[in-house]
Amino acid sequence: MEKLGCTVVQACSDMTTDPQQLLVIDYNNKDFGQELKGQEYDFVYDCVGGEQQWLAAQQILRRGGQFITIVGNDPEMKVSLKYMATLGSTLVGHKLQSIFSSTKLSYKFHAIRESYQDLDEIRTRFLETDKVKPIIDTVFDWRKDGVEALYALYEKSKSGKAQGKLVLKIVDEE
């Protein structure tokens, strides 16, 4: 985030009115619901998954707030009949909870399915015009390391510790 000109802050108590500050909460070590308790947010967008994210979000969402997840309760998702049944029952359970709860929180599962047209539009409208600058965590070099580069990239991706995009460089740009 420093690459984007932000000052990274590790605790709410260190925040000032500086709009360039960015509070970073390591969800592996801290419960963001506890860290942000007392604040009210309109929505939480979850890219991590797991029941704990929903529980933490309930602590900080304002009445009528929305929890939107692209992962659901199972971050180790493997599409199967059992997964679909579990996902269905989870969504129904959370929907019923949002209807009958006094806080009226909304739980939404958002399945992402991008097309090559959508990705091309992102490239031309945002990346090539420098409106969005991707953060690169690591570049793995196929020509230098061979298949080991692929294994290292896979392990880094699986660890969930990447702070930006992981790139597998196959050929040098000309």
pLDDT digit string (tens) for 3-59?
Answer: 667 888 888 888 888 888 888 888 888 899 999 988 899 988 887 887 888 889 989
- The Cα 98–Cα 64 span in angstroms is 9
Residue range 126-154: mean pLDDT, rounded: 89
pLDDT (0 to 100) of residue 78: 58
Q: Which of 76, 39, 38, 74 is nearest to 54 (CA)?
A: 74
Contact between 65 and 44 under an 8 Å Cβ cutoff? The reply is: yes
- Residue 141 confidence (pLDDT) above 90: yes
- The Cα 31–Cα 34 span in angstroms is 5
Mean pLDDT of the chain: 80
C-beta atoms surrounding 105 within 10 Å: 21
Cα distances (angstroms) measured from residue 135 to each of 1, 118, 164? 8, 20, 5
Higher pLDDT, 115 or 169: 169
Contact between 103 and 63 under an 8 Å Cβ cutoff? The reply is: yes
Q: Which of the four pLDDT bands, split at 50, 70 and 90, describes residue 130?
A: confident
- Residue 109 confidence (pLDDT) above 70: no
E strand map for the chain: 7-9, 21-23, 41-46, 61-69, 106-109, 136-141, 165-169
pTM of full prediction above 0.75: no
pLDDT (0 to 100) of residue 25: 85
